[in-house]
Amino acid sequence: MSKDKQVKNFSVRTGTMPEDMYNHVLNRIEGRTFKEYAYELFEKDMEQSKTFEKLDEIKTELKAEVKQEMNRHLDDIKDLIRMLVTQNRSYINPSIYNSVAPPLYDDEESLEGQLVAKEVVPIGEIEEETDYDF
């Protein structure tokens, strides 16, 4: 804001101030003018704003670092699971290795819990007659 557009006088009427606020201001002024006290408050507010901006920047940097670190650990875990799957598939829960390891399919053999990637030919009909007589 240019000097020409600045408000030249900020009038503060204490008659509209709550009594506890007025007493607080009187106690804080302690031999200074209201103007000096107001300038001190403005400077503190500006410092606090700068501190919050710095904290926001630090927070953004930390979030990016944490995300990068978590992704690296996730990749390590996936690599470990893939290694375990290739060593011995029977000790690992199929739902885990099917989600992270490349499927290992044989035409003749399928493992229990293994996801089927081939087209399955249905046997029978969906609209079969069912005998519900008990």
pLDDT tens-digit series, residues 90-100 = 555 656 655 65
Are 82 and 65 spatial neighbours (Cβ–Cβ below 8 Å)? Answer: no
Tokens 């630090």 locate to 58
Identify which of 70, 98, 69 has the alpha carbon closest to the alpha carbon of residue 82.
98
97, 101, 103, 109: CA torsion to nearest 10: -40
Tokens 């290739």 locate to 86
Question: 19 lies in which domain range?
Answer: 15-100
Of 1-5, 58-62, 97-101, least confident by mean pLDDT is 97-101
Can you give the pLDDT at residue 104?
52
Can you give the pLDDT at residue 19?
87
For residue 7, being part of any structural domain is answered with: no
For residue 8, being part of any structural domain is answered with: no
Domain count, the chain: 1
| Alpha carbons 115 and 94: distance in angstroms, whole number | 8
Reply yes or no on whether the pLDDT at 111 is more than 60: no
For residue 133, being part of any structural domain is answered with: no
For residue 9, being part of any structural domain is answered with: no
For residue 88, being part of any structural domain is answered with: yes
